[in-house]
């Protein structure tokens, strides 16, 4: 059971959803959508948000049958200890790859724009080790960290984007619904990375003080990030057009670098944006990292998850070294989330919920 001093509030669950979705996929999203959705990009984001809210409803419905318990606990009640342990191991491996690729992406960006002479291996190792400190603080520490970082990230982020509004052409977003039916099946899976991470709710809802409010606040988190994605993608496409976004690796950075305001006391806005993004990815990593260490504690039957924070550093570091070039660094996270992430955040919770209902496992479904 969850300790009284190791809990998170409904507001913090919204912050966790927002921060875990604000990872490595944000800056490349306009390019991904330009390639797959074209002028239907903004509509695809709303569809992705709607799918995410629907999936969160499934996750909340599953968790509401087992108050105060997490995925490793109630899955054992639903399908038995051995199958449940296999599922938890799969989630743990997925989290290792997810974190590893997040580290690799940010190390490539930092080396390219900030620390040119620093080996990416050093950057990756420093990022991973920094995450272990927050993870050892427990779920309450992570909840407070997301609560603290949220205004520090998004207020400057919006302020940086606003000056570029005087040089955009919103007609680049047209025509809407052109070839919609063909593009929707290609674009929605391609957004898997940008809407990946909320499957950690399978763990975090069990730590909530008021779990009945989990769906409301998690949905608010998805709505916020959906609107943020719409703003980012809309500005990038309006600024550069569909075809130019396809050619840019990081369209958001290109948008920020194109802003030129006379008398601006900050010479390089893209440097500020990178600082914000590094902080966002760090928060994404600690949210995933805690889910990983908690999974390991359940796999090996130990009471404390803290000891696994340092033990898992080599595994994450090894995964971060797998991509052999920048192209693979961009493609591998998308591939993992498209083919495995969607199964773990949609199919597995749905199957567990159906089996729990058929076998009448867990308590009465809450008001969610």
Q: Which pLDDT belongs to residue 148? A: 93
Rounded Cα distance, 103 and 299, in Å: 25
Rounded Cα distance, 336 and 80, in Å: 27
DSSP 3-state of 363: coil
Rounded Cα distance, 31 and 41, in Å: 10
- Reported as a pLDDT band with limits 50, 70 and 90, residue 172 is confident
- pLDDT over 90, % of the chain: 57
pLDDT digits (tens, 9 = 90+) for 301-317: 888 888 899 999 999 99
- Reported as a pLDDT band with limits 50, 70 and 90, residue 4 is very low
How far is the first Cα of the chain from the last one, in angstroms, to the nearest whole number?
21
Packing angle of the helix pair 10-21, 139-161 (nearest 10 deg) = 60
Residue 348 vs residues 54, 70, 84, 162, 267: alpha-carbon distances, Å: 14, 14, 11, 41, 48
- Reported as a pLDDT band with limits 50, 70 and 90, residue 189 is confident
Alpha-carbon Rg of the chain, whole angstroms? Answer: 20
Residues 184, 188, 190: CA angle, nearest 5 degrees: 120
User: How high is the mean pLDDT of the chain?
Assistant: 89
Q: Tokens for 15, please give them.
A: 């912050």
* 134-148, 257-271, 351-365: which is most confident: 134-148
Residue 166 vs residues 163, 170, 261, 273: alpha-carbon distances, Å: 7, 11, 11, 19
**Is the CB of residue 54 less than 8 Å from the CB of residue 238?**
no
For the residues 47-69, what does the mean pLDDT come to? 94
Higher pLDDT, 2 or 342: 342
Q: What does 111-122 look like in DSSP terms, one character per residue? A: HHHT-TTS-HHH
- Reported as a pLDDT band with limits 50, 70 and 90, residue 116 is confident
Domains with residue ranges and CATH for the chain: 10-358 (1.20.1740.10)
Hey, what's the torsion of the CAs at 298, 302, 304, 306, to 10 degrees? -80
pLDDT digits (tens, 9 = 90+) for 267-288: 677 778 888 888 899 999 999 9
What residues are paired with 208 via a beta bridge?
8
pLDDT digits (tens, 9 = 90+) for 21-34: 988 778 889 999 99
Rounded Cα distance, 211 and 104, in Å: 34
CB neighbour list of residue 225: distance below 8 Å, 6 or more residues apart? 17, 18, 21, 22, 49
- Reported as a pLDDT band with limits 50, 70 and 90, residue 253 is confident
pLDDT at 5 over 70: no
pLDDT digits (tens, 9 = 90+) for 39-54: 899 999 999 999 999 9
Q: Which pLDDT belongs to residue 366? A: 42
Cis peptide before 81 (omega within 30 of 0): no
Rounded Cα distance, 344 and 91, in Å: 7
Q: What does 194-236 look like in DSSP terms, one character per residue? A: TT--GGGHHHHGGGBS-GGGHHHHHHHHHHHHHHHHHHHHHHH
pLDDT at 94 over 90: yes
CB neighbour list of residue 295: distance below 8 Å, 6 or more residues apart? 72, 88, 89, 91, 92, 95, 203
**Is the CB of residue 285 less than 8 Å from the CB of residue 279?**
no
């Amino acid at each position: 059971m969850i300790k009284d001093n190791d809990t998170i509030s409904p507001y913090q669950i919204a912050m966790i959803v927002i921060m875990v979705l604000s990872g490595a996929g944000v800056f490349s999203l306009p390019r991904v959508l330009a390639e797959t959705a074209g002028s239907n990009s903004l509509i695809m984001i709303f569809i992705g948000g709607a799918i995410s809210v629907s999936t969160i409803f499934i996750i909340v419905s599953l968790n509401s049958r087992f108050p105060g318990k997490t995925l490793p606990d109630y899955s054992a009640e639903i399908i038995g200890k051995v199958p449940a342990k296999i599922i938890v191991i799969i989630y743990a491996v997925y989290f290792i790859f997810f974190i590893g690729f997040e580290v690799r992406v940010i190390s490539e960006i930092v080396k390219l724009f900030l620390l040119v002479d620093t080996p990416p291996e050093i950057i990756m190792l420093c990022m991973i080790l920094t995450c272990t400190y927050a993870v050892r603080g427990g779920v309450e520490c992570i909840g407070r960290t997301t609560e603290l970082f949220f205004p520090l990230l998004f207020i400057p982020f919006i302020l940086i984007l606003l000056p570029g509004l005087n040089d955009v052409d919103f007609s680049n977003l047209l025509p809407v619904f052109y070839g919609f039916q063909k593009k929707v099946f290609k674009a929605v899976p391609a957004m898997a990375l940008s809407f990946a991470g909320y499957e950690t709710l399978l763990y975090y809802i069990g730590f909530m003080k008021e779990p009945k409010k989990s769906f409301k606040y998690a949905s608010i988190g998805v709505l916020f990030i959906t609107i943020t994605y719409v703003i980012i993608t809309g500005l990038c496409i309006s600024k550069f057009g569909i075809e130019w976004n396809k050619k840019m690796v990081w369209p958001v950075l290109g948008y920020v670098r194109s802003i030129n305001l006379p008398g601006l006391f900050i010479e390089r806005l893209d440097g500020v944006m990178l600082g914000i993004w590094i902080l966002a990815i760090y928060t994404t990593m600690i949210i995933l990292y805690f889910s990983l260490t908690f999974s390991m504690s359940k796999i090996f039957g130990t009471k404390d998850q803290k000891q696994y924070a340092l033990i898992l550093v080599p595994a994450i570091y090894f995964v971060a070294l797998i991509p052999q070039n920048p192209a693979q660094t961009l493609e591998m996270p998308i591939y993992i989330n498209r083919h495995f992430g969607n199964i773990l955040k949609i199919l597995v919770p749905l199957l567990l919920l159906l089996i729990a209902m058929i076998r009448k496992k867990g308590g009465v479904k809450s008001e969610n």
